[in-house]
Amino acid sequence: MDPETRYMSLSFVPGTNSEQLPTPWKFLAAACSDGSVRVFGLLEAARKLVLVAESFHHQRCVLKVEVFLHTQAGGERKHLLCSAATDGSLAFWDITGPVAEATAALHRAGGEMQPLALGSPLLTVMAHSCGVNSLHIRPVPEGRYLVASGSDDGSIHVCLLEVALDGQVPKGTCLRVLERAARPCAHAAHITGIRVLRPDLLLSASVDQRLTLWGWGPGGLDPLSTTFFHVPDLAELDCWEVAEAGGGLRYCCVLCGQGLEMLQGTAPP
């Protein structure tokens, strides 16, 4: 590959069958600046990293990837991947087949193989007018997924996805968009951090140094509160829940850029 390629984002592929083998290969998905989505096999014991699959579907710099695991009614697991690029598009892939094929090939050939093709995405959504610099996917009830993204243009896009079997393809998977909402000018600068806290709440952070809590419902996205933070040039946001003694929940958020800052707060009931 091009030696000047930058890796813009990484995501771990959970729940692979390789975890039960004597030499368990783990898999990482990567967003690459040369326009590719790549999947690597990692064997920690041997300190070995192998390119196992790739696609140049986006034809432009890929900024974000996130892998999520879907378990169907019969217990079958699907590895799904979302990639986001500088044109504002989100592509959703089923990488179950390539990961299974790569696992077999790596064990058969002692850790060497030719990269596989990822194929075509199951679904492509034009979410923004320019680059997607933040992405988060959270499972919600009934086997659905809430996908939130933030862009260079200051907008937020949220869509609710449903995973279903494709009757025209044996063991095929299809994705359907059930709901979509967009909030233009949600921030005054690039949105570089976004997290879905609950099915009805999400948090966004921007280079404009504002952290905003949003309510998500049938009417779209509504701002609930805004807090200013002190970290310049925000690069990422992460959040986790902390149970309180009285049975409530407190959210901790860490923001990183030129420095780190941690904020805590409670969400509305």
What are the pLDDT digits (tens) for 102-117?
998 988 877 788 999 9
Give the predicted TM-score (pTM) of the model: 0.92
Three-state secondary-structure class, residue 41: strand
Residues in the chain: 269
DSSP-H helix ranges across the chain? 96-108
Of 47-51, 152-156, 164-168, which one has max mean pLDDT? 152-156
Domain encompassing residue 115: 1-126
- Are residues 5 and 121 located together in one domain of the fold? yes
Same domain flag for 136 and 82:
no
**246 inside domain:** no
Domain count, the chain: 2
pLDDT-based confidence at residue 173 (cuts at 50, 70, 90): confident
How many whole angstroms separate alpha carbon 173 and alpha carbon 161?
A: 13
- Does the pLDDT of residue 170 top 50, yes or no? no
What's the first-to-final CA gap in the chain, in angstroms? 50
Mean pLDDT value across the chain: 91
Question: Strands of 89-94's sheet, edge to edge?
Answer: 62-71, 77-85, 89-94, 123-126
pLDDT higher for 196 or 141?
Answer: 196
Do 24 and 65 belong to one domain? yes
